[in-house]
Amino acid sequence: MQCKIHLVFKTFSIMNHLIKNIHPLIVLGLVFNFFYTGYSQEASKLCICFTEKTEFIEVKSNHDSTKTNFSIIQKGFESEEKRKKVIEEYRKRPPTMPPDFTIDYFATEKPKKISSIGNVDCALILSVKEFRLKEVGYPDDVRDSNVFFLKKIADNEYLKWEAVIAIEL
């Protein structure tokens, strides 16, 4: 019995020694990993491209473009008739949240003029039509809810907004 107790204490002593000496290395490794993955690379974003003639997106800016709203009409609600029908059905039901016909984003800074989409860190580039067909599907490597909206204004000229999804309460 005394031999087992001695073995347990010896094992505990060795493990304690290892933990004291290895622990700082593990912590240092974790800290390095956090900064490398979290801060050395900007998170890739979903990029949604459109032009002045793109259907199913409404873009509204204030007078100095410091606030811009982007509303993308969800698939199935393209026509005024479809939206009216859904609203009529909503009014007949017990009180619930009203139907949401759009996916809304907002930007709080002026757009930046860029010469190439290739310079933007996009995990996925979609047109408004493709975005609507995907039903707001984000790729796995998009790490936040920020989205770039890219408006083509001329050959090799775009306006870029960084926007976030608008959540209604």
CA end-to-end distance (rounded Å), the chain: 67
- Residues 83 and 143 placed together within one structural domain of the fold: yes
User: What pLDDT sits at residue 166?
Assistant: 83
State the total domains in the chain.
2
- What pLDDT sits at residue 2? 46
Per the structure, the complete domain to which residue 33 belongs is given by: 1-41
Query: Are residues 76 and 152 both part of a single domain?
Result: yes
On whether both 155 and 92 belong to a single domain, the answer is yes
Q: Are 19 and 81 found together in one domain?
A: no
- pLDDT at position 98 is 76
Residue 124 phi, psi dihedral angles, 5° rounding: -155, 130
- What local confidence, expressed as pLDDT, does residue 41 receive? 45
Instruction: Quote the pLDDT of residue 38.
Output: 41
Are residues 55 and 92 both part of a single domain?
Answer: yes
| pLDDT score for 145 | 65
pLDDT tens, N- to C-terminus, the chain (169 residues): 444 444 334 444 554 554 455 444 343 333 333 333 443 345 568 899 999 999 999 999 999 888 999 999 988 888 889 989 988 888 888 777 777 888 899 999 999 999 988 888 888 899 999 988 875 554 444 445 689 999 999 988 999 999 998 876 5
The beta strand positions in 41-133, using DSSP E, are 45-50, 57-61, 68-73, 102-107, 112-114, 122-127
Q: Which pLDDT value is given to residue 35?
A: 39
DSSP assignment of 131-167: HHHHTSPPPTT--SS-EEEEEEEETTEEEEEEEEE--
CA distance 166 to 96: 20
Do residues 68 and 132 both lie within one domain?
yes
Q: Does residue 157 share a domain with residue 98?
A: yes
The number of residues making up the chain comes to 169
**Predicted model pTM:** 0.66
Are 5 and 79 part of one and the same domain? no
**49/37 same-domain check:** no
Residues 55 and 37 in one domain: no
